[in-house]
Chains A and B, each alone.
Chain A
Amino acid sequence: MLARSGENIFWLGRYLERLDDTARLVNATSHLLIDSHKDTEFGWPVLLDVMGLDSSHILKEYGLDPKDASQLAHIEQAVMQHLISNVESPISIRTACSQLKFNARTIRQLLPRDMWEELNKLDSFVQQQCQTLHGRQQRYQLMTEISRRCQMVLGSVDSVMLRGDAFDLFTVGRHLERADMVTRIMDVMVLQTLQPSLLKRPRFRWISILNALGGVESYHYYLANNATGAEADAIDYLLSYADFPRSVSYCLNRVAASAKGLPDSAATLQHVQQLQALINQQPLTDLSTAQLHELIDQIQAGIIHLHQVLVGVSLSEQQALTA
């Protein structure tokens, strides 16, 4: 495989996962709303904040004031536009899908035909269906369908793609992105709880987040076998329960396992270890919400660093060859 293609296949994995996880992020809000008291105030701008954007700045661009309660419906609409349909938005589903297709096109020679076709179908579906936004119910169905179609792509990868460097890089990219996005989805919950509110309102429940991540049943299994019974167990579960495929620990294990076979993987493995240590250093159930938010920030910074190590390797290698 070309040295240059390494980065494309890695990004292909990242964007495919980002697409799926952004859809889940959007649906996490639906679950939070369904599961909460009818008078609960939902902080829509938080969805932009967890993606690393400055929500008040962006909402201003949409001509909205995040603090104006009377604009709540418009704010929801604008946030969804930014997350789903706006092609100018770096975090939108349509943008992720275009990037996915671009990377696939660049390395088509490495992709099996089945996967290429599923990617094409996914892209035309997303570009057509995500142009205009509808109500919450349709949005929920659309996001579920996007996740389902991402699974179709993965199914073709799983069943026909050669197990080699390309597959390993794809797997690394996918799980790095998943670890990152799971922490962001967790942060939605954390920031909702931290949000100052005039209303006295019932707490959001972690079970809604687990629902969006498809992990409710396995969480119950985990509770029955491991846990203390506190609700904060969900945090432990999502960060460090390595048997659940959407836990951060699991993702990091997969990154390490796939990177092991790739050339020059020592630095990657070292960084994975550091991140694992960070997650395992303290009983997570003891953390206050603010501390949890801080830990999530640290994990995200570690993931960014890990990304740089991974991408840096293939680039420096190319340069070394021409020297």
Chain B
Amino acid sequence: MSLENFTGGRYPLTPHCFDELVTNAGTVRPPAGAIARFIDKHGAPELFKRQQQLNQTISDMGVCFTLYSEGANIDRAWPLDVIPRTIPSSEWQRTSAGLKQRLTALNLFIDDLYNQQKILKDGIVPADLVLHSKNFLAPCQGVSPRYGVWANICGTDLVRDEHGSFLVLEDNLRVPSGVSYMLENRTVMKRVFPELFADSTIVPVDDYPAQLWQMLASLSPRGDSTPPCIVVLTPGIYNSAYFEHSFLAQQMGVELAENHDFFVEDDLVWLKTLRGKRQVDVIYRRVDDTFIDPLAFRADSVLGIPGLINVWRKGKVAIANAPGSGVADDKVIYAFVPKIIEYYLSEQPLIQNVETYLCQDPLEQSYVLANLDKLVVKPANESGGYGIMIGPRATPLEREQMAAAIKANPRNFIAQPTLNLSTAPTLCDTGLEPRHLDLRPFILQGAELYCSTGGLSRVALTRGSLVVNSSQGGGSKDTWIINDEG
């Protein structure tokens, strides 16, 4: 099968970038065979037609996200591209093993930090880096959540380098979002391309909500004897991820509550239900940890449950992710993760990091300042793609401002080489064009470890852009893990 057939000879591969569906030689990668055959048979007009059906389905299903800047217009249709991204299952097996390895080590690390701090004493990770981090939360010291696991839900951002190897770009251990879109993307695609699902072996993704429920249930302080009361804690209907909060609550069959639906009494957490108070066992919090209890953390928080942390410290309620997990989700700590894996597991990392320069190291800082036009600079503690400077695309003024910011607060910045993110054919006005993308799989750890089948593929919809965040004009693709193991 040739590229000629696949795209009418007009698919322009991006130099030095790995394409997910097409090889450098212009042939179609085997897992993408069914899609290529579909395009060959039906051509571009059919793709545009299906894209329209797909948009209609998304509107009917009410799949949306929220932008803070939009005022009254709170819902926006979720952008999904009609062409899926394919990954062979053999490769996914190796990748998910690496993701589980990484989360296991990170949880050992967090538990160590809030207890013995052996890794600091052994000098593997500089103590001041952790102890002076604003994500190191003093009230969490001395606590050991069930199984010693703090970050129960992790969304790891993966990218591919130009050779096609997956690299970890960042670990999201606080309140990672996006899994609902992974699930809804699949539901939409099944409705729009029933024939493709009939023709190829696409591994299902839909056991995630059941896995999430089981993991949360395994955290219940009352054990297996009582059916656990699990509640999703949301900041409310105006939050940018509210769609996901309500979706997951619905899919798991649990309550979705805001802080004022809870109260603390007799060292327990209670939910105000129509039929009186009900004891809460597990809170899946989708509120930042420093906001969850105004008595323990930010006194100005209006999203918190006063007294919650005290109950949690006594082991009478589980919180996922545990407060304080963010200490390991810091772009400076990120640079140490390979060493953290080696230290706790005596294993080599199965997935590599992106090369990272720490601005607090004088030598590395001078390198960063001298090469601002080549590097991507990131603040250590932001998410959603905010505050990032992509050197080659920044104006001289932006680079100057960034240099000043780095000098003022070096601990707060890291830099990485500008990556040649992989691309995938994406339906644009003119036909199929390559667009850069990343992948966010979701890993769960409670009594057991679980990794989602694939994850959420996020696509930069603007030609050449590397910014995939939906808050900044990114779109998405369904991610197909194609069985190649017979």
CB distance from A141 to the nearest CB of B (A): 22
Residues of B within 8 A of A121 (CB): 60
The closest CB in chain B to the CB of A113 belongs to B250
Contact partner of B272 (CB less than 8 A), chosen from A105, A109, A119, A322, is A322
A-side interface size class: 20 to 34
**Cα separation A106 to B62 with both chains bound (whole Å):** 13
Q: Which residue of A is nearest B270, CB measured?
A: A321
Nearest-Cβ distance from residue B432 to partner chain A, whole angstroms: 29
Q: Is the CB of A4 within 8 A of B261?
A: yes
Asked if B275 contacts A109 (CB within 8 A), the reply is no
* B291: min CB distance to chain A, Å: 20
Question: Which chain B residues in 229-270 approach chain A with CB under 8 Å?
Answer: 232, 237, 242, 246-247, 249-250, 254-258, 260-261, 263, 270
- Determine if B274 and A109 form an interchain contact, defined as CB atoms under 8 angstroms apart: no
Residue of B75, B254, B270 touching A109 (CB-CB under 8 A): B254
Q: With CB as the reference atom, state the residue of chain B lying closest to A319.
A: B272
User: B237 contacts which chain A residues (CB < 8 A)?
Assistant: 105-106
Chain B: which residue is nearest A121 at the CB level?
B60
Question: In this complex, what residue of B is CB-closest to A116?
Answer: B62
Taking A116-B62, A120-B60, A124-B59 as contacts, is the C-beta distance between A111 and B250 under 8 angstroms? Answer: yes
Asked if A109 and B263 sit within 8 Å, CB to CB, the answer is no
Contacts of B61 in A (CB 8 A): 116-117, 120
**Residues 143-168 of chain A: 1 if any B CB is under 8 Å from the residue's CB, otherwise 0?**
00000000000000000000001000
Q: Are B246 and A109 in contact (CB under 8 A)?
A: yes
Q: With A and B bound together, what is the CA distance between A106 and B249 in angstroms?
A: 12
For residue B273, CB closer than 8 A to chain A, the reply is yes
Say yes or no: A3-B274 contact (C-beta < 8 A), given A109-B249, A111-B250, A322-B263. Answer: yes
How distant is B66 from chain A, measured CB to nearest CB, in Å? Answer: 11
CA distance A317 to B249 in the complex (A): 24
Contacts A1-B255, A120-B59, A314-B274 aside, 14 further interface pairs with beta carbons under 8 A come to A2-B272, A2-B274, A3-B273, A4-B272, A105-B75, A108-B246, A108-B256, A109-B232, A109-B246, A109-B250, A117-B60, A120-B61, A165-B274, A321-B270
Which of B232, B249, B257, B272 touches A321 (beta carbons < 8 Å)? B272
A95 to chain B, nearest CB (A): 13
Q: Indicate if A318 sits at the interface (CB-CB under 8 A).
A: yes
Hey, which chain A residues are within 8 Å of B263, CB to CB?
321-322
Residue interface mask A90-128, B partner, CB < 8 A = 1: 000000000000000110111101001101110010000
Name the residue on A nearest B231 (C-beta). Answer: A2
Say how far B233's CB is from chain A's closest CB, in angstroms: 12
Interface check B277, CB cutoff 8 A: yes
Query: Cβ of B276 < 8 Å from any Cβ of A?
Result: yes
- Asked whether, in the complex, the Cβ of A109 is within 8 Å of the Cβ of B256, the reply is yes
Q: How long is the Cα–Cα vector from A263 to B274 in the complex, in angstroms?
A: 8
Interface residues on B, range: 20 to 34
Task: List chain B residues, Cβ under 8 A from A119.
Answer: 62
CB distance from A131 to the nearest CB of B (A): 16
Which residue of chain A is the closest to B242 with respect to CB atoms? A105
**Contact A321 B276, beta carbon cutoff 8 Å:** yes
Q: How far is the CB of B123 from chain A (nearest CB, A)?
A: 48
What's the least CB distance linking A319 to chain B, in Å? Answer: 10
- Shortest Cβ-Cβ A-B pairs, 10 listed: A109-B249, A108-B246, A120-B62, A109-B256, A109-B250, A3-B272, A321-B272, A1-B274, A6-B274, A3-B274
Q: Are A2 and B60 in contact (CB under 8 A)?
A: no
Q: Knowing A2-B271, A4-B272, say if A108 contacts B250 (CB, 8 Å).
A: yes
Contact with A along B174-210 (1 / 0, CB 8 A): 0000000000000000000000000000000000000
Task: Say whether A105 contacts B273, CB under 8 Å.
Answer: no
Residues of chain A contacted by B59 (CB below 8 angstroms): 120, 124
Cβ contacts A to B, 10 pairs, < 8 Å:
A2-B255, A2-B257, A5-B274, A108-B249, A108-B250, A109-B249, A113-B250, A121-B60, A124-B60, A321-B276
Question: What's the Cα separation between A121 and B58 when bound, in Å?
Answer: 11
Docked Cα-Cα span, A317 to B257, in Å, equals 17
Q: Could you tell me which residues of chain A, from 159 to 189, have a CB within 8 Å of some CB in chain B?
A: 165
Distance of A124 Cα from B61 Cα, bound (Å): 11
A262 and B237 CA atoms in complex are apart in Å by: 27
- Residues of chain B lying within 8 A (CB to CB) of residue A110: 250
A110 — nearest CB in chain B belongs to which residue?
A: B250
A109 touches B255 (CB 8 A): yes
**Cβ contact within 8 Å between B261 and A263:** no
B405-426: CB near A (< 8 Å → 1, else 0) gives: 0000000000000000000000
A81 to chain B, nearest CB (A): 21
Contact residues in A for B60 (Cβ distance below 8 Å): 117, 120-121, 124
Establish whether residues B249 and A318, one from each chain, have CB atoms under 8 Å apart when the complex forms: no
Chain B proximity of A132: nearest CB distance (Å)? 20
Closest Cβ of chain A: how far from B64's Cβ, in Å?
9
Q: How far is the CB of A237 from chain B (nearest CB, A)?
A: 36
Bound-state Cα–Cα, A1 to B75, Å: 25
B193: shortest Cβ distance to chain A, in Å? 19
Q: Which of A4, A6, A105, A262 contacts B246 (CB 8 A)?
A: A105
Determine whether the beta carbon of A108 is less than 8 Å from that of B274: no
Bound-complex Cα distance A2 to B270 (A): 11
Bound state CA distance, A116 and B263, in angstroms? 30
